[in-house]
Chain A
Amino acid sequence: MKQTKILFILFLLVEVGISFGQSKEVKIRVDGLSCPFCAYGLEKKLNDIKGAENINIDFENGLVTMNIAGEKNINKKEIKDKVKEAGFTPIKVEILDFPKSSENPKQ
């Protein structure tokens, strides 16, 4: 019984940890990305978004990808506003669920 309780508490802790660690992938189509030395401001502005990490900029395809961790409701308008503040033109924002932890404690 004691062992079951300990296992149950451990299971709860892992599940909570997993749900806090859940990260979403965000893809942003951006126009005007024509010079890498101009993109620093874009990275800085996107880093202002709570939970933002792993920002990658693909110039050829006009695509910015990033992860936002620990946020259930991501504000697409906030992301678009940040892109505009950086001096570029946001075209489309896509949010994909991307679980951060791939381990299943039940197995």
Chain B
Amino acid sequence: MIEIAIHKALNGQKGKMILDLDFKVEPNQITALYGPSGAGKTTAFRIVSGLLMPEKGRIVVNGETWLDTSRKISLSPKERKIAYVFQDYALFPNMSVENNILFAAGKNPDKNKVKELIETFHLYDLRNQKPQNLSGGQQQRVALARALIQEPNLLLLDEPLAALDNEIRVRLQDFLLEIQVRYSLSILLVSHDIAEIHKLAKHVLHILEGNIVKSGSPVEVFTGKVSENTLNVYGKTLSIDRLKNRITVLVNQEKLILDISEEKILDIKVGDLIMLSFSTENTEIYTGIK
């Protein structure tokens, strides 16, 4: 179990704000932090990784206390078994892909582990390239491999897929799920993308102005409903045919044409996110998803 409680006064873009979070992260699963920019998500990451000191706080990871301001305990980033994938990946431009991973591995790198990661992340042909010569998706894979070589007890991903185009994004989401299971990773993920959170995370914390306003499964947080025997799929509205009461929705790179009731079609604009909820009894369409 990972327990995180932090309290810090911030000078944000919108003036003063108190970051006050208290939550638990189940091990071996992905927990998402969701909220607008400036809500304090990245600051929370900086505190958890040890880059920033909160006024009050307690962080316990798998029984090990990383931070407890009441007992004046604060482990340095080096002593925390943590890895952080930055939004811009922060790959070192002066090192090749392989050397980026080796540098993160430390003084006596486990050669087999490095080799295994390079193969798992499909980086073998790219291992001698400099990061700036790689595409966004490839850079993201290097950043993840470099994080995993550190064998973290907690992996922080700050909008890891935000800079990628849709197709690669979907592929990397699948890949991320695969490695999360394979290496039993405990992951904290910052994301703005509801569909992505829904796909990846078991648990989501909705953060507004430094506070957790909602937490639960993605379905609970985003629709207020508890899912039982249902499957929820998000899609983007591409076009609306008001004569036939039909909409075209992009779901997982596929176009889906839906017949929809007359009153519901009035709620929808092109570009809106909708949620399709398939249950064993019927199929519901939710509009107005933010």
**A and B, one complex?**
no
Interface residues of A (CB under 8 A from B): none
